[in-house]
Structures are given as C-alpha cells and as structure tokens.
C-alpha cells in the first residue's frame, strides 16, 4: 500500500473472528482494553463508569475519538 497512510484499524480482521486486538490480548498488565462502550457489561464500559476517566485525545476537534485514557 505505497503512498497511503497506515494506522490502527483495531485489528479488524481479528474482530471479525471474535478475537480481541493483538495489543489488548498481549498486554500483561491490562493497560490496554478493548470493547463495546454501548454494552454496559463490557470491561471498557465498567472501567469508564468507575470514575477513572482522565483524558480523551483531541476531543476538541469534534472527531469523536474512541480512545480513552484512564488514570
């Protein structure tokens, strides 16, 4: 894919198979979580509702980023 920007695609090929992204699966300290914010039972929804929310990168640009940093 010469001449094209490449970036994280949330391991779409793995998600199609019901597998988590590589980075979330291999992170030994669970520093990276992945899931469905719309599912209140998901690990990411529970983490966000825990009050640990810290930062959402470049939210002010209005691009609705799906990445959250927790403190």
Which residues make up the interface to ligand SF4 (CB under 6 A)?
8-11, 21-23
> In angstroms, what is the minimal distance from the CB of 53 to ligand SF4?
20
41 CB-side CA count, 13 A: 0
Q: CB nearer to ligand SF4: give 20 or 48.
A: 20
Sequence-ordered alpha helix ranges (H) in 1-71:
12-16, 22-26, 43-48
Q: CB nearer to ligand SF4: give 18 or 51.
A: 18
Nearest residue to 57 via CA among 69, 45, 47: 69
Q: CB nearer to ligand SF4: give 9 or 59.
A: 9
> In angstroms, what is the minimal distance from the CB of 51 to ligand SF4?
25
Question: How far, rounded to the nearest angstrom, does the alpha carbon of residue 51 sit from its chain's CA centroid?
Answer: 17
């Amino acid at each position: 894919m010469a001449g094209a920007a490449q970036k994280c695609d949330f391991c779409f090929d793995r998600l199609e198979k019901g597998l988590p992204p590589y980075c979330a699966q291999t992170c030994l300290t669970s520093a990276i979580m992945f899931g469905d914010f719309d599912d209140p039972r998901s690990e990411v929804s529970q983490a966000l509702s825990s009050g640990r929310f810290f930062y959402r990168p470049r939210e002010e640009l209005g691009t609705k980023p799906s990445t959250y940093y927790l403190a």
